[in-house]
Amino acid sequence: MTSREPEHETPRDPGSEKDRDRPLPSAGPRGIFRTFSSFRNRNYRLFWFGQLFSVTGTWVQRIALAWLVLELTDSSFLLGAVTALQFTPIMLLSLFGGVIADRLPKRPILISMQSLMAVQALALGLLVLGDWIQVWHVFALSAVHGIAVAIENPTRQAFVAEMVGREQIANAVALNSSLFNSARMFGPAIGGGMIAAFGLAVPFLFNAFSFVTVIAALAAIRASELHVVERSGPGALLDQFKDGIRFSLSTPPVLIIIIVMGFVGLFGYNFSLILPLIARYILETEALGFGGLTSAMAVGSVAAALMVAYISKPTEKMLMFGGTTFSLFLLLIGVSTFLPLTVVLLIGLGAASIIFTATANSRLQLLAPPDMRGRVMGVYIFLFQGTAPIGNLLIGSLAEYWSVPGAIIVSALMCGVGIVAGLLYRLKHKVIDDPKTGYQEQRSSTAD
């Protein structure tokens, strides 16, 4: 169905312009059950558990892909180039992916893109199994994966609000982070074990099979229980694209997030490049040790995600705290050569990364008009993942021609620059947190 009308009759979405000015409700489960309050929603519960197996498979493939590139090339620069190519479509298409999410029904988009990613994983697995794999295959299939992610990610992020409604956005986003990082905790270790025991083909085939669960879960969602809003309709694609950019750049609370995320996403969130470089060239571990380092980072991420889900108040102070501590932990990792210390620092880095990203995600969804959530989340995905091609090439080049520790230290310092820039913008425009709503409102601004 591609018309602008909703697929069914549902109550008005609770994220209208009027409702964005009222406080978030405090009623609901108490104690530890408050952490998992979104699980009361059947659709979200199905989606979450369907994603769990699939995302685990994705992490298994990430470990295998990085190790495959290093085995084929033994080059940190080419590893950065492959990772950059995987994220280049996200850089080019994620903003338009957000427009698509606002124009079309989200569930069919998700099913289509999940199916495409399954085919990509299957192709990699068969090429490795038949010993036909070459570097150009990895480049081409990484680009296919990036195209699917560029459309799927903003759609999936915006679909969360349709499943749970505005009141549960912060909780559901944090639980999504716990899902992603629970998979990151076990997936890399599983991937490293699979590589050691069976070779590089099995992880890719495992990932291809893992998409069955999420596709089945999406098919089982009850459309009548979704909080669907009227889609943006068949207007000019470019005009709707411009509307999303204009809103993001002209709304001070949103722009603060964009400034900070621009730096942290570009220089800090390059884990698919940084972690294998640390494992191979600083700590000199094998594939199993690489998987263990990634899992260590996920331990802190899961703990932080559950804490954020319990609090469910994405404030500006939490955003800046997460970004600042992330930068500090990354800096310390750059100077550490002691495995146990690096593991502890990765746990802290994982916790800080989730506090920052889950808070940024929730705040953007709360600030965005319901019919523009896809476009705003497209901006978020662009900054969070789409800038990776540039960041990976920069970090990969520094690591290749200078040193891996030096590259990581530079990354941490540039993340700190982003935090300072966001704080300076906040002071200039006098944007403060509203304790009643849990997100920012502009009280006054300086003249241009």
Helix (H) or strand (E) holding 433, with range, is strand 431-434
Total domain count for the chain?
1
What range defines the domain where residue 129 resides? 27-442
Task: Identify whether 341 is part of a domain.
Answer: yes
Task: Identify whether 258 is part of a domain.
Answer: yes
pLDDT of amino acid 66: 83
Residue ranges for the chain with pLDDT beneath 50: 1-27, 435-448
pLDDT of amino acid 433: 56
Task: Identify whether 125 is part of a domain.
Answer: yes
DSSP class of residue 385? I
Average model confidence (pLDDT) across the chain: 81
pLDDT of amino acid 3: 35
In order of 22, 319, 379, the CA distances from 371 in angstroms are: 19, 25, 15
pLDDT of amino acid 59: 84
Task: Identify whether 275 is part of a domain.
Answer: yes
Task: Identify whether 11 is part of a domain.
Answer: no
pLDDT of amino acid 288: 62
pLDDT of amino acid 20: 45
pLDDT of amino acid 430: 65
pLDDT of amino acid 10: 39
Q: Assign 3-state DSSP to the chain and report helix, strand, coil percentages, each to 5.
A: 80, 0, 20
Task: Identify whether 308 is part of a domain.
Answer: yes
49's tokens: 């558990």
pTM: 0.77
- Please compute, for residue 209, the number of CA atoms within 13 A of its CA located in the half-sphere on the CB side: 9
Task: Identify whether 4 is part of a domain.
Answer: no
Task: Identify whether 447 is part of a domain.
Answer: no
CATH of the domain at 330: 1.20.1250.20
pLDDT of amino acid 367: 87
